[in-house]
Amino acid sequence: MHIFRQFIVIALLSAIGSAYSLVTGLALLPWAEPEIGPNEIRLEDAKALDVIWVDARSAEDFSVEHAPEAIFFDQADPGSSMAGILELWLESPRVIIVYCADAGCGTSKKIAEELRANLPDAEIYSLKGGWDAWSR
Amino acid sequence: MVQVNAIGLFALVARLVLAWVFIRAGLPKVQDPVAFAASIDNYRIVEGSLSLWVALVLPWLEVVIGIGLLTPWLRQASGWAITALLGLFIGLHTSAWARGLDIDCGCFGESNETIGYHWLILRNSLLLLVAIFILLRDSRNKKTPESSI
Among A54, A56, A43, CA closest to A105: A56
Lowest-pLDDT choice from A10-14, A123-127, B79-83, B111-115: B111-115
Q: pLDDT value at position B148?
A: 47
Chain B residue numbers with beta carbons less than 8 Å from the beta carbon of A6 are 68, 73-74, 76-78
Contacts of B123 (CB under 8 A, 6+ apart): none
Instruction: Determine the residue of chain A that is closest to B32 in CA distance.
Output: A26
Question: Positive or negative CA dihedral for A116, A119, A121, A123?
Answer: negative
Question: Distance (Å, rounded) from C-alpha B117 to C-alpha B130?
Answer: 20
pLDDT above 50 (res B64): yes
Please give the helix or strand (H or E) that residue A98 lies within, else none: strand A95-99
Render pLDDT for A44-92 as a digit per residue (tens, 0 to 9).
889 889 999 999 998 999 999 999 889 999 988 888 999 999 999 999 9
Name A18's bridge partners. none
Q: pLDDT value at position B117?
A: 87
Chain A residue numbers with beta carbons less than 8 Å from the beta carbon of B64 are 10, 13-14, 17
Please give the helix or strand (H or E) that residue A95 lies within, else none: strand A95-99
Least Cα separation, residue A71 to chain B (angstroms)? 26
Chain A residue numbers with beta carbons less than 8 Å from the beta carbon of B52 are 27-30
Does A30 lie at the interface with B, CB-CB under 8 angstroms?
Answer: yes
Alpha helices in B6-116 (DSSP H): 6-31, 33-42, 49-68, 75-98
Among B24, B25, B23, B54, CA closest to B38: B54
Q: pLDDT value at position B3?
A: 59
Instruction: Determine the residue of chain B that is closest to A120 in CA distance.
Output: B101
